[in-house]
Structure 1
């Protein structure tokens, strides 16, 4: 959420930053509502002071036995109180309206973020590995012979409908091994604290990490008001909601492996085959809570944590900076990691690492107490996939496929598979 004081102090800068995201002239509407709200608060305070002064006069008139004056003043006080109540109610309504307005406005991009309307303006900043030269036409993951026995879309459709999959046998073992490799690497090598969190959260938590109100249709809500998390960014970040942390406790670096749920609203016709875009999937998430001054360094650190997983697995990838038009609602800057998928002959997103500055912290009221003293300040929050497990599985299967339909598995996974090194063309782990 945005700081109303910053908008008051420099509305031109606020509008200029939002214009880079395709929004224009928003400060005038915000400030008009804010000014009216503040004027009513001031008027209510002034009227309250006047009513208090009149009450004293009424008391003096009653003590003097002047009932006519007392009754006249009392009637005037009653009128003032009704006016105060009206002003207060209107100011409270406008306060809610102002908060809702600020909640619906995306974060401001950093100056270093490239301008652009869509993904065509994203900028590649790093590339690792070389796509393998196949002596046969590589297939997409769901068409590889050795994968087919362990990737069942028909049964999933019978159970749940489209965009679900049943994994079994060798495929699910590789999937589980990937998540374990990610967690072990982040904990043992990257110093993140492993955390296990609920997948059902209160509405406040969804507001805190800006899934609500704008993206309600992208998430699932239960009949009793809980929301299914689209990623454990929601739970990990909101773990400090309402807290005042000591600066010495920062940064807090966490990771969690959870089920995630997305309705994929608006994705009709996109990636309808295979398991690239599912309603239910798994991710190993990374979240950092830090001081605003260290946030950009932490984003670079998180980016390297995600890249390291792909490098361990030998998956060619590229890192891009998203332009203003392709960046997520809560982000100030986002790095996307895109893994090479030979079956599609293209790079596809496998991780996004974003810094949100103090945007989410204001929504959650998450603060820290500076070591040098002074009043508490809002923390900075960052989140990133480390990685999306299902998409990583796709990358491993497609990059390791062989002409006979078997799949050679990365050496980093062998210890997690009991020393097994590949999936046979018949679908067995061997």
Structure 2
């Protein structure tokens, strides 16, 4: 959500930011709705004030025996009562139209976000790790996976496209990755582990900018709840409608959950394999902090995600997304892209975003600075630490052997109960 006071004071700057993100200049429309809403509010307030004055004057007139004056005042009060519903309705309708318009506009990009319209315009910040020199032609995970317990056929039979059934040591390796990630984020990086619901209400989805614009990208139950697209939703919404004490240290939360996405806008993309599923698992990181801390916290969060890839010795690159490739609620985003030798390409495995006060305004999440009377909006950040399924794919492709087996990374040994290699079925 956007600050209407900022738009009133800086309409041209607001339009320029929207244009950067590929949208239209809308400040004129916003300000026209705002003016109509404020006019209606003023009319309602003036009418209420005059009604109260006239009602008080009726009693005084009656006490003085001035029946004519009392009757005139009664007629005025009746007229005011009759006219107020029209202005009250105008205030409600205009306010709803204004709120709906603002809710559908993306966040303003930070000044240092590069220009561009697509992923081709993203800027590489750094690279880490050496790509493995294979003595054979590396295969894609979808080719070696079935013999190792990655059962695409059963998943499709049970649930349709973009579902997979994991078996045996493949399922164990998937679980080990999630446990390893959680332990890293909690024991080393200071995140508090949470176990949130995966079904949430409209308010939680709206507050984290998933509604109304992206309703089709999520699954909704018959009773109106939503299956979370990421645990960013419940973790961030846990501070909705709260005024918390000044967070001198950022509040850092993490969770390993199931996630669900309809992939409505991804028809034809990654239809083969385990990259893009309707149901997947992710270890999410969320930070809630003061505005002055959010930039440093963004760098720290991204570093925490990088630490997982380094520990697993998976080569990756860090990308700064351009304005045209950022998510709706982000003001600045770093993507981590892991090297997949089977595909011969870098693929996204984590996206770490600073949303500024965008989400906090939508969910009315505030803090009270020490020694101040007024409250301020918090800043919220979110990032994958990491996407479990995509990390499984990266391990499979980078640790594959010529005989179709996959070596278990050393960092995962404590979680695998002595299993050091995934062997293909005979």
Please tell me whether the aligned partners of residues 333 and 355 of structure 1 are also in contact (alpha carbons under 8 angstroms).
yes
For residue 386 of structure 1, give the secondary structure of its aligned residue in structure 2.
Answer: strand
- In structure 2, what is the Cα distance between the partners aligned to 1:56 and 1:161? 70
Please tell me whether the aligned partners of residues 199 and 228 of structure 1 are also in contact (alpha carbons under 8 angstroms).
yes
- In structure 2, what is the Cα distance between the partners aligned to 1:45 and 1:245? 32
Deviation at 1:75, TM superposition (A): 2.4
- In structure 2, what is the Cα distance between the partners aligned to 1:238 and 1:314? 34
1:10 — aligned with what?
10
Please tell me whether the aligned partners of residues 248 and 371 of structure 1 are also in contact (alpha carbons under 8 angstroms).
no
- Give the 3 Å change call, closer, same or farther, for CA 218–408 of structure 1 in structure 2: same
Give yes or no for the alignment of 1:251 onto 2:250.
Answer: yes
Structure 1 window deviating more from structure 2 (20-29 vs 57-66): it is: 57-66
1:338 — aligned with what?
337
2:347 — aligned with what?
348
Give yes or no for the alignment of 1:276 onto 2:275.
Answer: yes
Q: For residues 349-368 of structure 1, what are the structure 2 equivalents within 5 Å?
A: 349-368=348-367
- In structure 1, what is the Cα distance between the partners aligned to 2:413 and 2:366? 43
Q: Deviations over 1:102-147 (max 9, x none)?
A: 1111100000000111111100001011222222221110211x65
- In structure 2, what is the Cα distance between the partners aligned to 1:277 and 1:180? 21
1:143 — aligned with what?
143
1:163 — aligned with what?
162
Give yes or no for the alignment of 1:128 onto 2:128.
Answer: yes
Deviation at 1:93, TM superposition (A): 1.9
For residue 281 of structure 1, give the secondary structure of its aligned residue in structure 2.
Answer: strand
Deviation at 1:60, TM superposition (A): 4.6
Please tell me whether the aligned partners of residues 330 and 356 of structure 1 are also in contact (alpha carbons under 8 angstroms).
yes
Q: For residues 6-405 of structure 1, what are the structure 2 equivalents within 5 Å?
A: 6-63=6-63, 65=65, 67-144=67-144, 147-248=146-247, 250-405=249-404
Please tell me whether the aligned partners of residues 258 and 282 of structure 2 are also in contact (alpha carbons under 8 angstroms).
yes
- Give the 3 Å change call, closer, same or farther, for CA 56–248 of structure 1 in structure 2: closer
Deviation at 1:56, TM superposition (A): 4.2
Please tell me whether the aligned partners of residues 147 and 171 of structure 1 are also in contact (alpha carbons under 8 angstroms).
no
- In structure 1, what is the Cα distance between the partners aligned to 2:301 and 2:146? 32
Structure 1 window deviating more from structure 2 (95-104 vs 270-279): it is: 95-104
- In structure 1, what is the Cα distance between the partners aligned to 2:401 and 2:57? 95
- Give the 3 Å change call, closer, same or farther, for CA 373–57 of structure 1 in structure 2: closer
Please tell me whether the aligned partners of residues 406 and 426 of structure 1 are also in contact (alpha carbons under 8 angstroms).
no
Q: Deviations over 1:389-412 (max 9, x none)?
A: 000000000111111111122111
- In structure 1, what is the Cα distance between the partners aligned to 2:380 and 2:184? 22
With normalisation by structure 2, the TM-score equals 0.96
- In structure 2, what is the Cα distance between the partners aligned to 1:279 and 1:15? 36
- Give the 3 Å change call, closer, same or farther, for CA 128–90 of structure 1 in structure 2: same
For residue 277 of structure 2, give the secondary structure of its aligned residue in structure 1.
Answer: coil
Structure 1 window deviating more from structure 2 (345-354 vs 53-62): it is: 53-62
Structure 2, unaligned runs of 5 or more: none
Please tell me whether the aligned partners of residues 142 and 148 of structure 1 are also in contact (alpha carbons under 8 angstroms).
no
Aligned positions, number: 426
With normalisation by structure 1, the TM-score equals 0.96
- Give the 3 Å change call, closer, same or farther, for CA 248–382 of structure 1 in structure 2: closer
Please tell me whether the aligned partners of residues 147 and 424 of structure 2 are also in contact (alpha carbons under 8 angstroms).
no
Structure 1 window deviating more from structure 2 (82-91 vs 180-189): it is: 82-91
Considering only aligned residues, what root-mean-square deviation do their CA atoms show, in Å? 1.5
1:421 — aligned with what?
420
Deviation at 1:191, TM superposition (A): 1.1
Deviation at 1:413, TM superposition (A): 1.0
- In structure 2, what is the Cα distance between the partners aligned to 1:197 and 1:47? 47
Structure 1 window deviating more from structure 2 (180-189 vs 57-66): it is: 57-66
Please tell me whether the aligned partners of residues 54 and 73 of structure 2 are also in contact (alpha carbons under 8 angstroms).
yes
- In structure 2, what is the Cα distance between the partners aligned to 1:232 and 1:52? 50
- In structure 2, what is the Cα distance between the partners aligned to 1:416 and 1:147? 22
Please tell me whether the aligned partners of residues 41 and 91 of structure 2 are also in contact (alpha carbons under 8 angstroms).
yes
